[in-house]
A and B are shown apart, each in its own frame.
Chain A
């Protein structure tokens, strides 16, 4: 089975712009979660989607949003980018629940200038 894929792998944006990141989970996995990883804050949970619905949400501002499509692929969007949004964004999929083993993608490294 192919692993979790994320596109793009690297991205450079400027403050105020918006960005959309994409994640394709492992085939058959219905739960997709997103994380932000920074040197200062570590690995932080953004949100989880299951069957096209947001099931769980971390403590991030409304500028961070996501969605899931019927084929379980997911996108996350960050609007009005800030310098502090520079981070590695990781997507993870699991069969049904985030409590189960999660399979992570390679991440998208976002740099905001």
Chain B
């Protein structure tokens, strides 16, 4: 089973609106990473939040981590058409070996 699962599967919003997507995981983690993938291209790292951090910002991105609920959220504020992409989370566990797994991602469409 997947360690990290993103939801919703799809999100459609208008330019200027905020977009929120979530990642849930099953075991204790070392860190949690968010990636973006534009259609048919490689993944781009967006932000890494460590297990002892609760919130992190990078430009228009805000990531929160709730280790008690084993979940994270990625907020994109004032979205732009260029934010249209799929978003994935990676959740390396805090112990044991790590086989990187990604969920199906959240497909975000931002309409101009």
Contacts and interface: CB of A to CB of B under 8 A. Distances in A.
Do A and B truly interact?
Answer: yes
A101 B48 contact: yes
Interface string A8-47: 0000000000000000000000000101000000111100
What interface size band does chain B fall in?
20 to 34
Tell me the interface secondary structure of chain B in the complex: loop
A105 B97 CA distance: 24
A38 to B, nearest CB: 12
Interface string B81-112: 00000001010100001111111110000000
B60 interface: no
Nearest to A88: B40
Interface in A65-113: 88, 90, 92, 98-99, 101-107, 109
10 contacts: A42-B102, A43-B43, A45-B101, A98-B98, A99-B31, A99-B92, A101-B48, A102-B100, A103-B45, A104-B35
